[in-house]
Amino acid sequence: MLDKTILVIGTYDTKDDELGFLANVIREQGGQVVTMDVSVLGDPSAPADYSKHDVAEAGGSSIAEAVASGNENAAMQIMATGASLLSARLCADGKFDGMIVLGGSMGTDLALDVCTALPLGVPKYIISTVSFSPLIPPHRVAADVQMILWAGGLYGLNAICKASLSQAAGAVLGAARAARKPDPDKPIIGMTSLGTSALKYVIPLKPALEAQGFEVAVFHATGMGGRAFESLAAQGVFACVFDFCTQELGNHVHGSSISAGADRLTNAGASSTPQIVAPGCYDLVDIVGWHPVPEKWADHPKHAHNRLLTSIVLDGEERKAVARAHSEQLAGSKGPVAMILPEHGLGEWDREGADLHDKGGLSQFLDELQGTLPPNVTLHRLEAHINDAAFADKALEIFGTWRTEGIVAGEPRANLENP
């Protein structure tokens, strides 16, 4: 039975055989295929469903303009823009159920844009010669993209690359068949955290919010998790965010590679999503545990979380820089922002008596943040630790007020009087 349709994207002038093999495997498994050609110079052996001219025109340009650029990077960016816009339109029109792109570094560059343009829940697969490479920046990776290394496939078909292509074909078709898209009628809360050895608020908050009819999606704030959180926040997916682990912002400020990008703590505000924020684990900067410790951190206290991740403990001035970054990022928020500052600590390891406790450093951070917060942020200083019950209670109190006032979307106004 021809049950699901997969959009197959690639440069059909140079990878016609590989893309044809991929499409045939999908069809052999009972799926349907629509094709999109993102070539610039050559032509496929058979017309694609969406030609290179369709792609360029969808982006407000033309193949002639791409050729005239005289630069393969500029030309492919024209095609990336067109492919992203055309794919998003076709998806909105229900023309396909999953998408797969094949390419080298050039095709992967385009693929990342296309995947970002598609909504959460639509299967997205990239077959790439640079899969999992440090060439791919975390901030360009869509929240639910899948990727496989195109091993041995740079030029022409062979038994090795067919193994990758056939797996990818089965994976995207299987994902399209199995995918369960988010229920648009059930509002979602986006929350950030680390494991419960460091931050424990998720334990009381998740069931309390679910009891009010909300789903809770908790993102692991170790770079990629924060990137996914920001990507979805930018799309307006969340009814409200509980952004209680902003450590990735400190990672970015201090140059760690474990970063969620320069726009961390901005996208909920840009989409007018209500935000309740607390700077959980602000005092730590994560570095790759199996890399040598950078010289600038050599004299800092360290916490080896596991073989993958080590945390550097910041000094007072470094903490103040993180505080100012919070204020700068939140200043442009278009929606309501509440900042909760627990005065007894923001991570389990910095409690009084714990290994990383630094009362002076905590005071410096809290005072700097309070002194620089923009007027659009409502401050709630709290005589508690972030892992105390009082913190979760304060967050629920703010959230309850916003529900009563109709600030939090996702429920008919008539139902807010009796939550």
**25-36 b/e (C-beta count within 10 Å ≥ 16 → b):** bbeebebebbbb
Backbone φ, ψ for residue 127 (5° rounding): -105, 115
User: How many residues would you count in the chain?
Assistant: 419
Looking at residue 284, its pLDDT comes to 94
What angle is formed at CA 193 by the lines to CA 402 and CA 241, rounded to 5 degrees?
Answer: 25
254-255-257-259 Cα dihedral, nearest 10 degrees? 60
Burial class (CB in 10 A: 0-12, 13-18, 19+), 217: middle
Share of the chain above pLDDT 70, in %: 97
Note whether 5-178 and 188-417 share their fold.
yes
Looking at residue 418, its pLDDT comes to 35
pLDDT digits (tens, 9 = 90+) for 140-161: 888 889 999 998 887 889 999 9
Q: Ramachandran region of residue 373, left (φ > 0), alpha (ψ -120 to 50) or beta?
A: beta
- Supply the CATH classification number for the domain 5-178: 3.40.50.12020
pLDDT digits (tens, 9 = 90+) for 368-384: 999 999 999 999 999 99
Q: Are 98 and 85 in contact (CB under 8 A)?
A: no
**Higher per-residue confidence, 276 vs 260:** 276
Mean pLDDT of 61-87: 95
Residue 140 to residues 76, 84, 227, 399, 415: CA-CA distances in angstroms?
Answer: 16, 13, 8, 31, 39
**Higher per-residue confidence, 137 vs 340:** 340
How far from the centroid of its chain's Cα atoms is residue 223's Cα?
9
Tokens of 207: 């069931």
416 pLDDT tier (thresholds 50, 70, 90): very low
Rounded distance, CA 120 to CA 237, Å? Answer: 9
Query: What value does the mean pLDDT of the chain take?
Result: 92
> Does pLDDT of 304 surpass 60?
yes
Looking at residue 411, its pLDDT comes to 52
Looking at residue 181, its pLDDT comes to 76
Beta strands in 122-193 (DSSP E): 124-128, 145-149, 188-193
Rounded (10°) angle between helices 389-404 and 202-210: 30
183 pLDDT tier (thresholds 50, 70, 90): confident
Backbone φ, ψ for residue 347 (5° rounding): -170, 150
Rounded distance, CA 36 to CA 51, Å? Answer: 6
Tokens 């797969």 sit on residue: 100
Domain ranges of the chain: 5-178, 188-417
Looking at residue 180, its pLDDT comes to 84
Rounded distance, CA 210 to CA 215, Å? Answer: 6
2 pLDDT tier (thresholds 50, 70, 90): low
Rounded distance, CA 194 to CA 348, Å? Answer: 11
Burial class (CB in 10 A: 0-12, 13-18, 19+), 174: middle
Tokens 């709290």 sit on residue: 382
Domain 188-417 belongs in CATH node 3.40.50.1010 = no
